Amino acid sequence: MTIQTPDDIQKLAGAFMRSRIVLTGWGLGVFTALGHGWCEAGAVAEEIGADARATDRLLGALCVLGLVEKKEGKFRNTDVALRWLDADSPDYLSGLGHLSNLYENWGTLTESVRQGGTVLDPDFDNDAKRAAFIEAMHRRAKKDAGELVGMLDLSKTDTVLDVGGGSGVYSMAMCRVKTGLKAVVFDLEPVTKLTQNYVEQGGFSGRITTKPGDYLRDDFGSGYDLAFFSAIVHINNYEENGQLMRSAFAALNPGGQVAVVDFVMDEARLEPEFGAIFALNMLVNTRRGDVFTEGEITNWFADAGFVDITRKKTGPTTAMMLGRKPQ
């Protein structure tokens, strides 16, 4: 990003205003209240339980942002808002609740930098925030899970341990690719209760099971052909991730694979660009989380005993690191 003038700085610093407008409109259900028709601000306010004048001003701001239209004193959704922001649409962005939670958390960034970690109480003690997070991760992963799983060699894989697997979205994608494959989603007990609902809705109850536990404290079990970690290592510190890879090595059958999908930073920790920003997200929201370089991930693999370590690009900002347990 090139910043050249004071106006550029002002615009960058003020970007939070537009973000908050969109998240407030979504959170209040404005787009769902508007639906397909033209509505007066007062009717929308009554539907969402808000002040009429304030709702009118919010709708005006949403017009300026291109999500709502106004004509003869009435408002309606644009086609974009109708598709992505109306809760009655099949393409509804249900994961924006997590972004709204993050918006609040990022207000503590200054103090997090001072103290070297989060100053927040653990969000996952909150059922609503936990559910919003899992839904956001499920929706984000669902659109590219099939393509990502296609990069794995599952020809000799019959059993998968999906560590911190959340909704089980990647386990379901693997089951779609290979008939007979079975997976275990290992996650915290409150999360696995949500996992079971996603798996049932996906039609994989007979092939995907859950294993409640803390991956830093509890045993992984054994007999797996693949240990899969997606968006997990950035939650932990360097030493903890080394421990995770040792646990994965012990859980795998000879010849089994480990796969880590995450931001894989260059040695300067500036590329990919979003990874550098995401490092601050982990500073704000976790006590130990960070982003890591290819060299650091390779060290975890090698120290645990993995060989044939390779890297595959999985998207604009993420990559997959692979290793194999010797026969």
pLDDT digits (tens, 9 = 90+) for 223-245: 999 999 999 999 999 999 999 99
Helix (H) or strand (E) holding 83: helix 79-84
- Are 292 and 231 in contact by the 8 Å Cβ rule? The answer is no
Domain boundaries, the chain: 6-92, 124-324
- At 126 the pLDDT is 77
- At 70 the pLDDT is 98
- At 82 the pLDDT is 97
Separation between Cα atoms, residue 29 and residue 147, nearest integer Å: 33
Residue-wise pLDDT tens digits, 203-218: 999 999 999 999 999 9
Separation between Cα atoms, residue 191 and residue 124, nearest integer Å: 9
Tell whether the model's pLDDT for residue 123 goes beyond 70. Answer: no
Residue-wise pLDDT tens digits, 76-112: 999 999 999 999 999 999 889 889 989 999 999 999 9
Residue-wise pLDDT tens digits, 27-82: 999 999 999 999 999 999 999 999 999 999 999 999 999 999 999 999 999 999 99
- At 122 the pLDDT is 64
CATH architecture designation of domain 6-92: Orthogonal Bundle (1.10)
- Are 241 and 262 in contact by the 8 Å Cβ rule? The answer is no
- At 283 the pLDDT is 96
Angle at 326 between CA 321 and CA 327, to 5 degrees: 135
- At 1 the pLDDT is 64
CB crowding 39-60: b at 16 or more within 10 Å, else e: bbbebbbebbebeeeebbebbe
Residue-wise pLDDT tens digits, 259-275: 999 999 999 999 999 99
Tell whether the model's pLDDT for residue 125 goes beyond 80. Answer: no
Residue 312, SS3 per DSSP: strand
Please classify residue 4 by burial: count the beta carbons closer than 10 Å to its beta carbon, then call 0-12 exposed, 13-18 middle and 19+ buried: exposed
- At 98 the pLDDT is 87
Separation between Cα atoms, residue 171 and residue 229, nearest integer Å: 11
Residue 75, SS3 per DSSP: strand
- At 95 the pLDDT is 85
The CATH number corresponding to 124-324 among 3.40.50.150, 3.40.1190.20, 3.40.50.10320, 3.10.129.10 equals 3.40.50.150
Separation between Cα atoms, residue 306 and residue 220, nearest integer Å: 17
- At 124 the pLDDT is 52
Residue-wise pLDDT tens digits, 136-178: 899 889 889 999 999 999 999 999 999 999 999 999 999 999 9
Torsion angle of alpha carbons 304, 309, 312, 318, nearest 10°? 30
Please classify residue 267 by burial: count the beta carbons closer than 10 Å to its beta carbon, then call 0-12 exposed, 13-18 middle and 19+ buried: exposed
Separation between Cα atoms, residue 39 and residue 72, nearest integer Å: 10
- At 2 the pLDDT is 81
Average pLDDT for 180-197 = 96
High-pLDDT (> 90) share of the chain, %: 89
Separation between Cα atoms, residue 113 and residue 116, nearest integer Å: 5
Tokens 């659109």 — which residue? 143
- At 143 the pLDDT is 86
- At 306 the pLDDT is 98
Q: How many CA atoms lie within 13 A of 83 on its CB side?
A: 3
Q: Give the pLDDT band of residue 296 (cuts 50, 70, 90).
A: very high
